[in-house]
Amino acid sequence: MSTIPSDIAFTPAVKAVQTAKGSRAAYHRMERSRGWQTQVTPDLAEFLSNLDMFYLGTATADGQPYIQYRGGPAGFLKPIGPGTLAFADFGGNQQYLSVGNLSENSKAFLFLMDYESRRRIKIWGRARVVEGDDPLVAKLAQPSYAATPERAIVFDIEAWDVNCPQHIHRRIPEAKAQSEIDRLKQEIDTLKARLGDAA
């Protein structure tokens, strides 16, 4: 049974490997000092407000894992309580792998990536599918986003932590890259016009 939040990930087997590889002492110090979070902090809420994608991990009853990409408008993964997140589940390919997995195993994982700033947050917890709760779905939906929510998925946080930026390849959002391209094209056109006037 977990006694501190990081025990959800640092199982006895993991701690044994950390000991063998020489990293257990450093993680033990972390556990005794700041440790991992279990509630939504202002920093986490701000991170979520800008996030337009994340990865959802679920597993079957016998432990077969599945990772699903989830995308939507910025801020679509929302805090709805001190230790609870939720998002509108938009229609997809109708395989229902995550929905099916959650019907028999509530253990879940969120991997939040901000490629542009090279930041990532890991969140462990339990998730449930909520069907037919129109007020909740309305609270999570964003009318400006061109997709219809089919249900809500509610995630109860058990532990979360910020990962280091090592090995994260920086990616720029398409809209931001296009804006910079447009700006550079305008600058080029202006310079061409000046050169033409000077000729």
Does residue 72 sit in the same domain as residue 147?
yes
CB 99 within 8 A of CB 129: yes
pLDDT of 3-40, one tens digit each?
899 999 999 999 999 999 999 999 999 888 878 999 99
Does residue 21 sit in the same domain as residue 41?
no
Quote the pLDDT of residue 199. Answer: 62
Does residue 30 sit in the same domain as residue 120?
no
- How are strands ordered across the β-sheet holding 149-163? 65-71, 53-59, 107-114, 119-130, 149-163, 84-90, 78-81
The whole domain housing 83 covers 37-168
Does residue 31 sit in the same domain as residue 41?
no
Does residue 117 sit in the same domain as residue 95?
yes
Does residue 121 sit in the same domain as residue 198?
no
pLDDT of 41-69, one tens digit each?
999 999 999 999 999 999 999 999 999 99
pLDDT band at 102 (very low <50, low <70, confident <90, very high): very high
Residue 141, C-beta contacts closer than 8 angstroms, at least 6 positions apart: 88, 149
Does residue 154 sit in the same domain as residue 60?
yes
Task: For residues 197 and 147, give the distance between their C-alpha atoms in angstroms, rounded to a whole number.
Answer: 49
Does residue 161 sit in the same domain as residue 177?
no
Q: Domain tally for the chain?
A: 3
Does residue 145 sit in the same domain as residue 48?
yes
Task: For residues 3 and 11, give the distance between their C-alpha atoms in angstroms, rounded to a whole number.
Answer: 11
pTM: 0.85
Task: Give the domain CATH number at 52.
Answer: 2.30.110.10
Task: For residues 135 and 86, give the distance between their C-alpha atoms in angstroms, rounded to a whole number.
Answer: 13
Does residue 49 sit in the same domain as residue 145?
yes
Does residue 110 sit in the same domain as residue 180?
no
Does residue 60 sit in the same domain as residue 128?
yes
Q: Which residues pair with 130 in a beta bridge?
A: 152
Q: Rounded mean pLDDT of the chain?
A: 91
173 has a pLDDT exceeding 80:
no
| Tokens linked to 55 | 């990865």
Positive/negative CA dihedral, 161, 162, 168, 170:
positive
1 has a pLDDT exceeding 50:
no
Helical axes 12-21 vs 24-32, angle rounded to 10°: 120
